[in-house]
Amino acid sequence: MEIVLENFTKRFGDLTVIENMNLKIKEGEMLALLGPSGCGKSTTLFAICGIHRVDEGRVLFGGQDVTRVPTQQRNIGVVFQSYALYPHMTVAQNIAFPLTVRHEDKQTIKKKVGEMAELVHIEELLGRRPEQLSGGQQQRVALARALIRKPGALLLDEPLANLDAKLRLEMRSEIRRVQLETGISAVLVTHDQVEAMSMSDRIAIMKDGK
């Protein structure tokens, strides 16, 4: 799914944090938003997924204007820096959650959970709870959960920031592999140049909201 930001402007009170941005994410590509903290990377990502309201301009998904469409109605998967796993649920239940809340058939859910677990290589972890997992394993669970609904796009907000150097290297390759295998359009927010260059097809460099 192609994603386009047209003349995107975002303000918080009197402060303009993004001004007249134009950006296109091509169908099937991984685009990295690279820049220092506070430059507007996450704000841009949150506008794409609908968490932040767009003050001026438009957001287009596959040519359709979704600027005023609520987050839950946008066909996207999001992976946050914190992973945001439910501690009282097993890995399988966490992955299944987006389908469970839509009351999909149990057998269908079980099949899709198995497919996602195989995709991110965590088949043996489905019965565990988040506190029993390493940071890299938790990241894989979050990735599987984001992808289980077959979204049109995947948004990644500093997904490797909480991992040690060895795991970051491993998960760079894993996230890129999954993105290429699924062919999903993806946006990666990062302040790490090596991460951006190793994971993405293109890099958009941001500074001071531009």
Q: What is the pLDDT of residues 179-199, one digit of tens each?
A: 999 999 999 999 999 999 999
Position 82 scores a pLDDT of 84
Per-residue model confidence (pLDDT) at position 209: 81
- The residues of the chain scoring below 70 in pLDDT are none
Amino acid at residue number 94? N
Specify the pairing of strand 56-61 against strand 64-65: antiparallel
Q: Give the chain's domains with CATH numbers.
A: 1-75+155-209 (3.40.50.300), 82-150 (no CATH)
Q: List, as one string, the DSSP characters of 113-181.
A: HHHHHHHTT-GGGTT--GGGS-HHHHHHHHHHHHHTT--SEEEEESTTTTS-HHHHHHHHHHHHHHHHH
Residue 38, pLDDT score: 87
Nearest to 100 by CA among 86, 82, 121, 119: 86
Query: What is the total residue count of the chain?
Result: 210
Query: What whole-number distance in Å separates Cα of residue 122 and Cα of residue 14?
Result: 47
**pLDDT, position 83:** 84
**pLDDT at residue 185, as a whole number:** 98
pLDDT for res 62: 96
Predicted pLDDT of residue 43: 95
Nearest to 174 by CA among 138, 107, 120: 120
Core vs surface per residue 126-165: b (16+ CB within 10 A) or e: beebbeebeebbbbbbbbbbbbbeebbbbbbbbbbeebee
Please state the pTM of the whole predicted model. Answer: 0.92
Q: How far apart are CA 197 and CA 124, in angstroms?
A: 32
